[in-house]
Chains A and B, each alone.
Chain A
Amino acid sequence: MPHDGHDHDDHSELSPIALRVRALESLLVEKGYVDPAALDVLIDTYETKIGPRNGAKVVARAWTDPAYAKWLKEDATAAIESLGYTGRQGEHMVALFNTPEIHNMVVCTLCSCYPWPVLGLPPVWYKSPPYRSRAVIDPRGVLAEFGVTLPETTKVSVWDSTAEIRYLVIPMRPANTEGLSEDELAGLVNRDSMIGTRLAGKVA
């Protein structure tokens, strides 16, 4: 440690990786490769504007509008774009509809492909070796860790995103939600249900 703890300069609490990233940022800005204001916009976009609320709106629309659900099945990229969600890491979308017979679940075993425009940035567990290694060989064991136990009569269908096709799971609409508005329904769509590791509903 360079300091004995008495006179902190503003680097003293940063980890080696945080210091390295800070030095790199200064360098890239100084060399003119990066506009620091663009960095702030990029970060703000994924921290506050693009996230799983987008996907939840797609799901709620599919639950309430059969014509939209049909469009989503046939051309998910266009149907999702019609709600304003498009672009990076969501260029070619496919929607997977869960039913009592089939439960879909998405993984990227080779890296961490994820539909950013509808779900935002992936959570740590989705990118982690335990999920990437086990989702394909032990999907029911993984589901159990999320508290989900499916009947044996429901087939688990795992999708390994190996190319630039991105998958959005449309979970089943929870029971007793007939009177709810589209917005209220969107509130029931948790992020993990759109990856396929949970069912729709509030997460405890």
Chain B
Amino acid sequence: MGIGVVIVAKKKVIFSFPPSLVEEPITYVLIKNYDLQVNILRATVRPRDRGRMVVELKGKKENLNKAFEYLEGAGIQVDALVQEMRHRPELCVSCTACVPMCPTGALSVNRETRELEFDHNKCIICEACIPSCSYRALESQF
């Protein structure tokens, strides 16, 4: 029987790193030095541009905090995953065409009002919904 890791914290965040740090093995360090589970949900790295990564981190709370300190020291910006994907209710007509495109259930229909609901906590910014919206009511800032 192994000793199970007590997971006390889980966080979904965005790493933004400058071109100079694109070759830094960040995930390796997070796993090896801070004993974190790293689930990469999305990543973009373009030549000469900043890299961005959406990750879900799981691990002991103190390790998570230490990891954030390491990232900050290394020059990597860590942001909470909010408002990266925007649903604009003033443009949305609640046609619900986006709902079956969403793999995580972040987009759903309210059973009573039949209006579209967006839960940004469930969104992984995969952007699969964007082409299905004919009213430009879904936009990504990623």
Note whether A and B form a binding pair. no
